[in-house]
A and B are shown apart, each in its own frame.
Chain A
Amino acid sequence: DAGITQSPRHKVTETGTPVTLRCHQTENHRYMYWYRQDPGHGLRLIHYSYGVKDTDKGEVSDGYSVSRSKTEDFLLTLESATSSQTSVYFCAVRFGPNEKLFFGSGTQLSVL
């Protein structure tokens, strides 16, 4: 599992509240990613990081922000959660651009 831990594993929250998901890795991967998985859409990239304090937007970044202050932690924040952000969120890591992605176990987020 490449030492990836996602927390929490499940969360239920209300519309308008802030939510932070955490991805923690123990193997010093340079690249870290946040994806969301929805039926019929596959996995879509939200944000990614290629080093400490180096982050960029993916294809579905609206309503999300990220931070990476340490190599091992990549945080995804929903500033004001909406029902459309109900999804399964996966963190992924890799050493380099042609290396395989290692995925975390996912966070099931429900926004009511």
Chain B
Amino acid sequence: AQSVTQLDSQVPVFEEAPVELRCNYSSSVSVYLFWYVQYPNQGLQLLLKYLSGSTLVESINGFEAEFNKSQTSFHLRKPSVHISDTAEYFCAVSDTRGGSQGNLIFGKGTKLSVKP
């Protein structure tokens, strides 16, 4: 079984500053990795995902995450945040074998608060 640990429950940051949201996972098999974002009073939306290939993946709004197999991490970064990035961010993992093992396991979330 997989598990996900998001090391920070809340991250306050000033606008235009860089940010890193940390995610570590545990698994005995190969995994897919995801970051989802939840804006207030909405459902979750996919931000980016790692399936295979390049270990650095990017989203359309400037976020990036790097898969580090040796450290079992998938940290999310943005070099300069905006007020509109204020949201809760969830890291998730799934087994590559699919079927019932392919269900997503979510971390507990990190609330990013961007201050002017």
**A58 with B44: CB separation less than 8 A:** no
* Chain B residues near A74 (CB-CB < 8 A): none
**B104 with A101: CB separation less than 8 A:** yes
- A contacts, CB < 8 Å to B: 33, 35, 40-45, 48, 50, 56, 58, 90, 92, 96-98, 100-101, 103-106
Bound form: Cα–Cα A100–B36 in Å = 10
Tell me which residues from 10 to 48 in chain B have a Cβ below 8 Å from any Cβ of chain A. 32, 34, 36, 42-46
Bound form: Cα–Cα A101–B36 in Å = 9
**A56 with B100: CB separation less than 8 A:** yes
Tally of A-B residue pairs with Cβ under 8 A?
56
6 A-B pairs with CB atoms under 8 Å apart are: A40-B108, A41-B108, A42-B90, A45-B105, A58-B103, A103-B44
Interface centre among A50, A98, A104, A106 (most CB of B within 10 A): A98
Identity of the chain A residue whose Cβ is nearest the Cβ of B48 in the assembled complex: A100
**A100 with B100: CB separation less than 8 A:** no
Which of B53-61, B62-70, B74-82, B91-99 is found at the contact surface with chain A? B91-99
Identity of the chain A residue whose Cβ is nearest the Cβ of B110 in the assembled complex: A42
* Chain B residues near A43 (CB-CB < 8 A): 44, 90, 106
Is B51 an interface residue when CB atoms closer than 8 A count as contact? yes
Instruction: Point out the residue from B43, B98, B107 that lies within 8 Å of A105, measured CB to CB.
Output: B43
* Chain A residues near B107 (CB-CB < 8 A): 42
**B49 with A100: CB separation less than 8 A:** yes
Bound form: Cα–Cα A5–B103 in Å = 21
**A98 with B44: CB separation less than 8 A:** no
Bound form: Cα–Cα A101–B46 in Å = 7
* Chain A residues near B6 (CB-CB < 8 A): 42
**B103 with A33: CB separation less than 8 A:** yes
- A105-B44 contact given A43-B106, A100-B34, CB 8 Å threshold: no
* Chain B residues near A50 (CB-CB < 8 A): 99-100
**A42 with B103: CB separation less than 8 A:** no
Bound form: Cα–Cα A104–B106 in Å = 16
* Chain B residues near A48 (CB-CB < 8 A): 100, 103
**A101 with B90: CB separation less than 8 A:** no
